[in-house]
Structure 1
Amino acid sequence: MHVLVTGGAGFIGGHLAEAFLEDGHDVTVIDAMDPFYDLGIKEYTLDVHREVADREGVDYDFVEGDIRNEELVNELVDEVDYVYHQAAKAGVRPSVEAPREYDEVNVDGTLNLLDAARNTDLERFVMASSSSVYGGREEYVPFSETDPTMPVSPYGASKLAAERYACAYNEVYDVSAVALRYFTVYGPRMRPNMAISNFVSRCLNDKPPVVYGDGTQTRDFTYIADIIEANRTLLDSDAADGEAVNIGSTDNIEIRTLAKEIRDQLAPELEIEYAERYDADAEHTLADTSKAEQLLDYDPDHTIREGVEKFIEWYRQNREWYEPLVMAS
């Protein structure tokens, strides 16, 4: 198969492209190389892709470009069998400062891809959505796909609009489209400004981890390997076409508990610091993954604690190049 991965130099997209190359597929990556965080991580990821492609003897192309470029998108989609759409303006907090840019990239960019797909024989269009579409209504935790979607940030609103377009194109234009609602993905090469990477980095450098708010808010942290397996399934299955599907760990943890556990492993003498919480942050997230289990045979392998242990091990092995990027974020 020939797979196009948008945002393929980023965290999730980078791991997806790597996995598809390892599976023997030809891969094209498009990424705008937006300096939202240090591009050193993306450049490292692209080097990994090239090494895997050479080892596996498959074709790999990297295109530096923007999904808002309609002509470029049409050209790329026309050449592939699958589109795995991971490109987006990420982050709840920065979306509050730039809502129109989030709409342009996350909604208009997705529409460009869907319009290109409706004029081809594409096997499947798989897009990354987010638990942010649910908003912060505690009475619906754990979140099910049948629960109301009430995002409380421009980021969440843009992801909801994008996934609704994908499902509509499945219905109206017969584009086989699936939206996967990710719940706080983490793991090797994650964005350096994420909570787990910051907690680990600060503790290893004898600096106290900083928790925003009182730390009682909870998150369903999902390890990257489980995300990849869910996406791999969609190469062969049409069971989720036209659907939005939760992909989480089915487990959650208080942020203060997570900070304490990382602190206790790495620097037990440190005191945790607390800072003002951001209003756009959801209070709690937890995925009901029964739909993913039914349609995709989804069964996540990693508890939060197991995944964090793996990340810490990877961090130590890659500390020389990764840590300066985290500390600068």
Structure 2
Amino acid sequence: MRVLVTGGAGFIGGHLAEAFAGDGHDVVVLDNFDPYYDTRIKEHNVETGREAAAESDGSYDLVEGDVRDADLVDDLVADADSVYHQAAQAGVRTDYSPRKYDEVNVDGTLNVLDAARDHGVERLVFASSSSVYGKPRYLPYDEDHLTTPISPYGTSKLAGERYAMVYAERYGVPAVALRYFTVYGPRMRPNMAISNFVSRCLNGEPPVIYGDGTQTRDMTYVEDILAANRALLDTDAADGEVMNVGSTDNIDIETLATEIRDQLAPELELEYTDAYEVDADHSHADVSKASELIGYEPTYTIREGVEAFVEWYRANREWYEPLVRNS
């Protein structure tokens, strides 16, 4: 199968491209290498994707370009069987103009959707986010929960997924939207809480918590994200649907920092600083819909995933840690 992964040199997209190439598929990655975080991580993602293809019957091709380029997107989608649309301007806390989120995450998504409609792809999987929910009315979030995002990023993701569902309903595009819950794992963005906690502890520095640490997160190990996406290559059961993809587990930030500290540097004290207003207080995923439709069952608890990440971090500390330290 020929699979197009937009944003395929990024964190989740890089893992998807590597997995699909390793499974023997012909993978095309579209990425503009935006320097939102150190692009050397993206270079590592490309390298691992090429290595996976070399060890299988698959292939891996990189196209440097932007989803805002409608002609380029159309050309690439025309040759694809399935499209995994991961490309986005990320960042809940960043101070970009809302127009940039709109240009990349909404207009770019419309380019992908138009091309998918015109060329009849077998499936289009849109990467959405738990940020679409905003402040919780109840937990865990199910897909019927109100969507009241409180950041430009979350708002743009909600617009993108709604367009995907409109294209599914009105134009027959076999689109699925996956709402990811705080994905982490090897080669993750260097400015995330887990990578920072691990790095600081390994360097004898106290973990820094934004706020009082009572905020809770449903954190999803990247291998579970891969399982959900892989399942969608082979089934149409979720076409036209929005689904949560989380761990079903959650943990408060203070406990997360404490457990990492206790594992790596128990002598350190935690530090606290001001919270970010756009950070959600709590997140917790109900994944029963994804379980019913595609058999999704997360296999990593947060603690197991953190242990796996720490092991990977230690093995890759030489190249990865400087990127975290400079983020």
TM-score scaled to structure 1, two decimals? 0.98
- Structure 1: runs of 5 or more not aligned: none
Question: Following superposition, which runs of at least 4 residues in structure 1 exceed 2 angstroms of deviation?
Answer: none
What is the rounded CA distance, in whole Å, between the counterparts of 1:73 and 1:284 in structure 2? 36
Equivalent residues of 2:175, 2:241 under 8 A apart:
yes
What is the rounded CA distance, in whole Å, between the counterparts of 2:15 and 2:32 in structure 1? 17
Structure-to-structure mapping, 1:215-254, within 5 angstroms: 215-254=213-252
Structure-to-structure mapping, 1:171-250, within 5 angstroms: 171-250=169-248
Query: Greater CA deviation, 55-64 or 295-304?
Result: 55-64
Structure-to-structure mapping, 1:118-133, within 5 angstroms: 118-133=117-132
What is the rounded CA distance, in whole Å, between the counterparts of 2:31 and 2:204 in structure 1? 35
Q: Secondary structure at the match of 1:118?
A: helix
Q: Tell me the equivalent position of 2:253.
A: 255
1:142, CA displacement in angstroms? 0.7
Q: Secondary structure at the match of 1:166?
A: helix
Q: 2:158 aligns with which of 157, 160, 167?
A: 160
1:191, CA displacement in angstroms? 0.1
- TM-superposition CA deviations, 1:20-71 (whole Å, max 9, x none): 0111100000001000111111101111111111221322210010000001
Q: Tell me the equivalent position of 2:30.
A: 30
What is the rounded CA distance, in whole Å, between the counterparts of 2:51 and 2:180 in structure 1? 28
TM-score scaled to structure 2, two decimals? 0.99
Equivalent residues of 2:23, 2:58 under 8 A apart:
no
Equivalent residues of 2:217, 2:251 under 8 A apart:
yes
What is the rounded CA distance, in whole Å, between the counterparts of 1:253 and 1:52 in structure 2? 33
1:266, CA displacement in angstroms? 0.3
- Structure 2: runs of 5 or more not aligned: none
Q: Secondary structure at the match of 1:119?
A: helix
1:121, CA displacement in angstroms? 2.2
Equivalent residues of 2:186, 2:312 under 8 A apart:
yes
What is the rounded CA distance, in whole Å, between the counterparts of 1:52 and 1:300 in structure 2? 24
- TM-superposition CA deviations, 1:300-325 (whole Å, max 9, x none): 00000000000000000000000000
Q: Tell me the equivalent position of 1:76.
A: 76
What is the rounded CA distance, in whole Å, between the counterparts of 1:218 and 1:252 in structure 2? 6
Q: Tell me the equivalent position of 1:298.
A: 296
- TM-superposition CA deviations, 1:272-312 (whole Å, max 9, x none): 11110010110000001110111011110000000000000
Aligned Cα root-mean-square deviation (Å): 0.7
- TM-superposition CA deviations, 1:81-117 (whole Å, max 9, x none): 00000000111011x4421101110000000000011
- Equivalent residue letter for 1:296: I
- Equivalent residue letter for 1:92: V
Q: Tell me the equivalent position of 2:318.
A: 320
Q: Tell me the equivalent position of 1:8.
A: 8
- TM-superposition CA deviations, 1:139-166 (whole Å, max 9, x none): 3211000111110111100000000000
Q: Secondary structure at the match of 1:47?
A: helix
Structure-to-structure mapping, 1:62-73, within 5 angstroms: 62-73=62-73
What is the rounded CA distance, in whole Å, between the counterparts of 1:305 and 1:55 in structure 2? 31
Q: Percentage identity across aligned positions?
A: 68
